[in-house]
Amino acid sequence: MRKMSLTVRASIVLTLAQLLYGGNLVAGKIMAQKINPLVLAALRGWIGILVLSFIIFRQIRKEPMPEWRDMGLLALVGSMGITLGYLTYLIGLQNSTAINAAIICATLPTVTNALLIIGWKMKPTLLEIIGLGISFLGLIVIFTQGSLTDLREFKFSYGELVLIGNVLVSALFSIFGQKAMKRFSPIVVTFFASFWGALFLTPVGLWNISSVNWHISWSGWLLIFYMGGIITGCANLLFLYGVSLIGSGRAAIFSNMSPVFGILLSGVILGERLAWYDCIGFMLVMTGIICSILKNNLRPLGNSEVKFDHLVNHVK
């Protein structure tokens, strides 16, 4: 029962995180033409820190705190997941087509597990490999709109190379985040990683701040708050907690749900039409995820499960 409840809990938390990430895609579409993306990246980083600090203020004081010798690892996690993650994604999208970007980002679970196999000697099961393949196939169906023509026309350029870098740093974010959570709770890791990530983004944001038109509507500020407070703060906390439960390899496959949720939310919020290939792709993605998490000997890292429960009770 404990093993099953652990899998279910991780699935719920990671699914919720990817739903929030999917909403970020919609918010990004709306705000892309209204504010400099580099300034937006820095702004959302600091908003995330403020919101996260407010939520976990009481709980984090009860946690074992890192010393200066631990800050290197936490800064590495923040630079991978926030600083380089944001910058490579924005630069890549500016120099690539949407279809190429989607296909490259869909390789994140495979890249994560490949790094674990090469660098950390992880041995995936046959069911995990099958699940990765099915889930990736589902995203290909969605991104190519059920036609192989777009896939045959895929070409590498500067933008695609940058997006490959984005996939690499995103994979390292979850792997190094898992390593950090062997010593500290997801709350502590998320807070300090967000701090360092936002700090490293600040010079870039300040350099481009003069190009920003600050006449933003209240609805625009709400979207910025969502991208900063909800995504940078809460969604990253949920994702790292899921990683602490089932490991970065299995948690990575849930990232395939983010673009699917983005497409579904675009249909609901932006009125974009959903097609047959969206439904088929969604079912394939979900089938692949279910296959990948159907494995025994799941165990949490440390006692982060109990610590997160304290946070949930405090928020309530």
pLDDT in tens, 174-215: 899 988 988 888 888 988 999 999 999 999 888 888 777 777
Percent of the chain clearing pLDDT 90 (strictly above): 9
**Alpha-carbon gap, residue 185 to 244, rounded angstroms:** 9
**Alpha-carbon gap, residue 316 to 303, rounded angstroms:** 21
The pLDDT value given to residue 95: 74
Burial class (CB in 10 A: 0-12, 13-18, 19+), 99: middle
Averaged confidence pLDDT in the chain: 76
Residue 149 in this model has a pLDDT that exceeds 50: yes
Q: What is the pLDDT of residues 256-309, one digit of tens each?
A: 787 777 777 766 666 656 677 767 777 777 777 777 666 543 444 444 433 434
244: closest CA among 293, 301, 290?
301
Biggest alpha carbon distance in the chain? 57
Residue 24 in this model has a pLDDT that exceeds 50: yes
User: What DSSP letter does each residue of 129-150 carry, written as one string?
Assistant: HHHHHHHHHHHHHHHTTT-SHH
The residues near 52 (Cβ < 8 Å, ≥ 6 apart) are 190, 191, 194, 229, 232, 233, 234, 237
More confident residue, 32 or 217: 217
What the block records as the tokens of 283 is 């079912």
Q: What is the pTM of this model?
A: 0.74
The pLDDT value given to residue 292: 67
**Is the distance from CB of 133 to CB of 269 less than 8 angstroms?**
no
Residue 153 in this model has a pLDDT that exceeds 70: no
226: closest CA among 39, 43, 13?
43
The pLDDT value given to residue 72: 94
Domain ranges of the chain: 2-315
